[in-house]
Structure formats: C-alpha cells, structure tokens
Chain A
Amino acid sequence: MKNNTYKYLMIAIFLAPALILFIGVLIAPIIMSVFYSFFDMKSISLKGAEFIFLGNYKELFTSGSINVWRALGNAMLLAALSVFLQLPLSLGLALMLGKGIKGERGFLSIYFMPVLISTVVIGQLWRKIYNPDYGILNAVLGLLGIGDKMPLGGWLGNEASALWCVFVPTLWQYVGYHMLLMYAGVRSVSPELREAAKLDGATDGQVDWYVVIPSIKPILKVSVIFAVTGSLKSFDLIYVLTKGGPYHATEVPSTLMISMLFERNRYGMGSTIAVLMISLCFAFAILISAAFKEREYGKKHVIKK
C-alpha cells in the first residue's frame, strides 16, 4: 500500500510539469476561446461585452459579409489537393530515394530545403515569381511564346488564378516534409521482405505497392492527418501572398479569423472561428484515424478467418 502511494506520487510528480504545460498552453486557451465566442465583444476587453450565447455561431454561418463557407470551401480544396496531389508526390519521392539511388542524401536535402526556409521568405520569393512586371513566371511564359497568358490583374490579383497561385507554393513547401516522414518509413522496411518479394518474381513497382506501402501505413496515416489539419489551419503563406484577397478569393478560416480579431476588432467572432477550426481539426483527425483503423481491423479479421 505504501509502495503504491509512493508509486502514484512519483507518477504525479513526473507527469505534473507536462500536464501543467499541456493545460496552460492548450486546454486553457481552448476553453477561453469557447467562453469568448459567447460574447459580442466590440473591444479588446470583456468590459461592456454582451453575452449572446450562440449568436456569433449563428451569424458566422448565415452572414454574407463574413462568408465562412467560401473560407471553408477553400480550406477543404487545399486539404483535398494535399491528400491527392502533395502526398502521392511525397510518397513517390520517398519510394524513389528509399531505393538508395545515387546522390540520395543530396536529393533529400534539396527536397527538404523549403521546409527549413521561413514561410515569410518563401512568400516573398513567390510574390516575386508572380510579379506582373518582372516575375519569372511571365518571363518563362514569354520564352515559351505564351507571355500573354497572364490573367487580368496579375497572377495574385485575379480571382480565378489567385487561389491556385497560392496553393502551388503551399503544397510545394511541405512536399519535402512528408517525403522525409515517408522516407524514414521506407528505409525501415526490412530488406528481407523486399528480397523475398523479389525472389517471388515481383517487379520494383509490385514490391512498393504490395510490400513497402502497406508496411508504412501508420506513417501514411500521420501524414494524412498532418496534411488535412495543416490545410484547415493554413495561414502564413496565404497571408503573406494575398492576405485572403483579392475580394476574399483566397480566404481560409485562419485569415478570416485574423481579419475578425485584429482588423474588425470582433474578438468574440474571431474566437468563434477559432473554435470552429479546432473542432474541425479534431473531427478530421478522429475520422482519419478511424478510417485507417477500420482497414487495419478488416485486414486482421480476414487473416483470422
């Protein structure tokens, strides 16, 4: 009994710092955000704020001027592109490099480099690329004889092109990050498994498809969760490139939240969008985990049978 008390005390002592940090940095701000989202705050403090309970949530989903649906739609599109374009590209690179090709380390560094560079720097770099007067994109198109293809208003100034122009660097930046995660997984696949498959006459593609990819499924799950939640809360690059414009064409929930909080001084509404983002990220993380779990369970079930 005494031993047990001592054991629990030690557990509590060792857990306490992390727990306090976790509550202070993560849980408390979430609770505060939920609390603030019930108020109509016209200024920074709660003084004079009106308690409107779910009023902000109702306005968020019905107000035409806030237009949260467009922001959510853009975030979902980015999430879909991340999963169906960015991750396959990362996987392809990881599989290619995982085979131990010549200059593997050099390629790894090059692909990973955008992750290391500050997003603001990348944003400024791409602003220069898209610049309508001296941008390299126009110069390249000019060399190809299609220099007149720039949309009216410039690449970042045209509603139709701005969203795609913002997505390209956003997706490009994290290809290396996901590639590195997957590469670590690919390298950890036992060489015996590969050799056994090869002995059975499997081609390189078949080895990757039937042996390597199923082996790195846990990593793929993590990558999908990171890609989807990262897309839902994407902010920095979009803010540097367009600040959500032109005419809200590149608005995502986080730029909308910043606009509400610090441009319109609507702290209650900003907190409401923050709560929405947190809820969506949690929901997607749980859904993706469940989707992967079901498949794993199904597989086990088949084997047992």
Chain B
Amino acid sequence: MKLKKLAATLLAAAMVVSCAACGSGSGDSGNNGGNKDTGKKVESVDLKSQKVTLDMWCIATESDSNRKSYENAIAEMKQEYPDITLNWEAFENQSYKTKIKAAMAADEVPDIFFTWSCAFLGDFVDSGKVYCLDDAYQDYKSELPEVMLANSTYNGKHYGVPLTMNIVGLFCNMDLLKEAGWNEVPTTYDDLIKCCDALKAKGIIPFGCAGGETWCVTEYLEPVIEKSIGADAMNDIFLGRASWDNAEVAKAVDTFQSMVKAGYFDPNAVSLSNDEVKANFMQGKYAFYQNGTWNCADFANDANFFPKVKVTEFPVVDSSKGKLGQLIGGPSDTLAVTAKSANAAVAAKYTFELGKRICHYGYLDGCGLPAWTPYGDTSNINGLTKAVSEICANANAYVLFGDTAMNADDAQKYLDYVAQVYGCKVDGNAFISGLKKEIR
C-alpha cells in the first residue's frame, strides 16, 4: 500500500517538470489532428454494445519485457468485451520505428498503434494521422492524471494513452562486484572508476553496451551528461531552448569517452544488438548494464540472476551542477489511435481500457512505473521495481530520452554523433561543434 501511494503521488509530482516542458515544446507545431474540434461534451461509447474488429501494432515481441503484460491485458479485454476482436501484431523495436512511419506515409495503418511520446508521436500528429482522444479521456480523468498526458499533448489536445514510465537505471551484478572486492554499489563517480579498475584487474568487463543499436549508447552517455551539467541545462538543449555549443557538454562527453578508452566497455559489443548484450549481462559477462528500467521484469523473472542484481542511478560526475535524483526518462511508451480508423471512437475508448490494463500488469511484472493510478493488490512488486520507485520518489528532475524529445531529423543526427563518440571517432569538442552546425 505504501509503495502504491509512493508510486502514484510522488511520480506525478516529480514528473511535472519534464512532462510539461516536453509537451509544450511539441505542441506549438501541432495541428488539430484527425478529428474535428470537440468543444461540446460527446456521448461516451459503450464498449459492451460494440461488435467490431480492431487491429493493433506494438513492440511487445516475445523477447520484450512487456510481452506478458500485453497478453494479460488483452486476455482480460477479450473476457470483458467478447464482441470486440483485437488482432495484434508485435514488431522488433528498431524495425518498428521504420515500419510505422512507412505505414503512416502509405496510410496503411492499424486502428491502434504503439508510439513513443513527444516528437515521435508529434510528427504523426502534425500530419493529421492521429485521432484526438480528448472525448474518450473524459471518462478516465480520475484514473489517469492529466500530467501524465503532457508528453502526448499537442496544441492542448491529447493524442496518446500513456502506459508505463521508465528511467535509465544502472544495473549491477553484485556477484561480480564482490569478486572485485566491492560489496556495495559504488555511489560516487570516483568509486565507480576504482570499481571498474578492480573489475578489469580481475578480468571482468565492467560495462556492456550494444553499439549495434545507438539508443543503447545514449542510455550511457545521457546520464553522464546529466550528472555533469545538470538536468535543467540538458532539458534546455534537448528541447531546443539552448545550443549544443556548450563546453560542459563537451567535457561530459570526454568523461564518457575516457571510460570507453580505458577499456571499461566490451569492445565486441560494438556490433551486437541490445538483446545479445542483455543476454551477456544476465550470463555474467558484464558487471554493469545501464539501460531502461523496463528490464526489471526480465531480471526478476530469471530466478538464478535476480538475487545477484541491484539497480541504482549513475553517480554524480560534477557535484556543482549534477545531483542525485536527476534522472533520464519519463512516460514515453504510449498507445494512439489512427485518424484513418473506421471505428476511431470505439478504438479510442478501447485504447484507454487496454492501456490501463497494460499499465497495471506491466507494473506488477516490473516493466516500469505506472502512468495510471495503480489499482488492485500491488504488494508483490519485485524488489528491483521497488528500488526504481524509491529512486523516482527521491527524484527532483527528469530529462526525457534524447531521441524521443527531439524531432526525427535532429534525433538521427544526434544518434549519429553519439555512435561516433562511442567509437571514439569524435571527441567532446567535435561532438558539440558538429551538433551545433547540424542542429543548433
């Protein structure tokens, strides 16, 4: 019960900073979306009386942490609304980003689709491809705080149903740390470096980072930048309020690169996918794995690995600006309805119901913290997710994942430079000057 309250109240309060910032940034460019402005109250759709077939695309593949929560939620929906048939397909994360954009361009879209909030969804909203959910939202105001919709709100209109919210966590294999003489997770940056040196001396690779998927590199680089320059400065850069031309960013990038050059990262992971690197971490190849907290579910489900793993946040690099409690993340996983859907109003209501359940089961499984007010018995949440809740309860600022916060063109340029930093092709100065020239 304590945890439930913790998650519901503190999260909502803490996230106002990041959510409001991102939502308003994207909102300026939005249009009215696929459906007409609905100033008057429309009648709520009764799902029980509907007999329709809906299609949905998402990224909950068999290897995805969220798979189980989708399956449970869909099974429950089927039981509750037997006349509504949901045909759902899941695609691998990286390829889905291409597929959904191609489908949107060709107008060959399902009724409901998974999307990332902020700029990713914003591009579709700008093109009038997304159905406005304002009418359907009226029935869920008490269960879904409006602040949670900020990342999917454009021009004051809501276009997405948030599922869970996640942050970047530093997962530690305590067995390996103990082998190197560390019984506790290092809490300062200097200790982390000492720990990495000790691990290396024992022949253990400190970090595993999938270079084959650049978003995984950002999960390492962004916390280093945030803990060096502070969350406010980083939000300003990510949301277009400040230039990349920032010497402190260059210094932070050099800090990250010094860790790569010191051999703390598995050099073979440059060409590997995230699934491969995660499997290596779970098999004890790396001592640390820094990635989204949705991984808590997979780690908790592995009976052998779970007792070994702890989660924490990346330590502060420059204490004059970076602080503990400044986190990378926020509510990004979202479901939306396409404007082309023949049953858009039904799909909208269905999406809220489904989203609520996916959020519920995802929270129980440890796939992230709930964007919706938790319900039912949540006392059996796994220890890792509880630890994430504690980290978030002490959070004072959030910076949304860079590739979600920026528009697609800028995000890709940014990812290009991040990949080059990881490969030591450019240093901090080249990183900021390149991004200044390419973005702003």
A interface residues, Cβ below 8 angstroms from B: 42-45, 47-48, 65, 130-133, 152-159, 162, 242-243, 245-248, 258-259, 261-267
List, in ascending order, chain B residues with CB within 8 A of A157's CB: 211-212, 267-272
- B276 → chain A, closest Cβ, in Å? 8
B105 close to chain A: CB less than 8 A: yes
Q: Which of B212, B276, B409 contacts A265 (CB 8 A)?
A: B409
Q: Give B323 Cβ to nearest chain A Cβ, in Å.
A: 34
Residue-wise, chain B 90-109 has the 8 Å CB interface mask toward A (1 for contact) of 00001001100110110000
B379 at the binding interface (Cβ < 8 Å)? no
Our pick among A153, A159, A266 for the contact of B268 (Cβ within 8 Å) is A153
Complex Cα distance A162/B272, Å?
13
Q: Check B127–A259 contact: CB distance below 8 A.
A: no
A44 to B126 CA separation, bound complex (whole angstroms): 9
Q: For B270, what are the chain A residues with a Cβ–Cβ distance below 8 Å? A: 153-154, 157-158, 246
Contact of B419 with A152 in the complex, beta carbons under 8 Å: no
19 contacts between A and B (CB under 8 A): A43-B123, A44-B123, A44-B124, A45-B127, A47-B127, A132-B272, A154-B267, A156-B212, A157-B268, A157-B272, A158-B270, A245-B419, A246-B419, A258-B98, A262-B97, A262-B102, A264-B408, A265-B407, A267-B105
Indicate with 1 or 0, residue by residue over B250-292, a CB within 8 angstroms of chain A CB atoms: 0000000000000000011111100010001000000000000
How far does the alpha carbon of A130 sit from the alpha carbon of B407 in the complex, in Å? Answer: 34
CA distance A247 to B419 in the complex (A): 7
Looking at the assembled complex, report how far the CB atom of A197 sits from the nearest CB atom of chain B, in whole angstroms.
52
A187 to B: closest C-beta gap in Å: 42
Pairs A-B, 3 closest by C-beta atoms:
A157-B271, A157-B270, A132-B268
What's the Cα separation between A132 and B280 when bound, in Å? 12
Q: Given the known inter-chain contacts A264-B412, A266-B409, please indicate yes or no for A44 contacting B271, CB distance below 8 A.
A: no
User: B202 an interface residue at 8 Å Cβ cutoff?
Assistant: no
Chain B residues with CB under 8 A of A242: 271
B408 lies within 8 A of A265 (CB): yes
Nearest chain B CB to A90 CB, angstrom units: 30
Tell yes or no: B416 within 8 A of A by CB.
Answer: yes
| Inter-chain contacts of B97 with A (CB < 8 A) | 262-263
Contacts of B156 in A (CB 8 A): none
If the complex has contacts A154-B271, A265-B409, are A245 and B101 also in contact, measured as CB distance less than 8 A?
no
- Is the Cβ of B413 less than 8 Å from the Cβ of A65? yes
Q: From B214, which residue of chain A is reached at the shortest CB distance? A: A245
| Chain A: minimal CB distance from B100 (Å) | 9
Main secondary structure, interface of A, reads loop
Chain B: CB-nearest residue to A266: B409
Min CB distance, A28 to chain B, in Å?
14
Inter-chain contact A42/B409, CB cutoff 8 Å: yes
Docked-complex contact A246 and B98, CB < 8 angstroms: no
* A245 to B101 alpha-carbon distance, docked (Å): 21
Residues of A within 8 A of B425 (CB): 247
Q: B423 interface residue, CB < 8 Å from A?
A: yes
B407 contacts which chain A residues (CB < 8 A)?
42, 265
A155-B271, A157-B267, A242-B271 provided; 4 other pairs, C-beta below 8 A? A45-B127, A157-B269, A246-B271, A246-B423
Report chain B residues within 8 Å CB of A43. Answer: 123, 126-127
The answer to whether A153 and B271 touch (CB under 8 A), given A133-B280, A264-B409, A265-B101, is yes
Of A131, A132, A262, A266, most buried by chain B (CB within 10 Å of CB) is A262
The CB with the most chain A CB atoms within 10 A, among B98, B129, B407, is that of B98
Complex formed: what's the CA distance from A11 to B389 in Å?
Answer: 74
A48 CB contacts on chain B under 8 angstroms: 126
CA distance A255 to B346 in the complex (A): 38
User: B438, A152: Cβ atoms under 8 Å?
Assistant: no
Q: What's the nearest-Cβ distance from chain B to residue A98, in Å?
A: 40
A245:B412 contact, CB within 8 angstroms: no
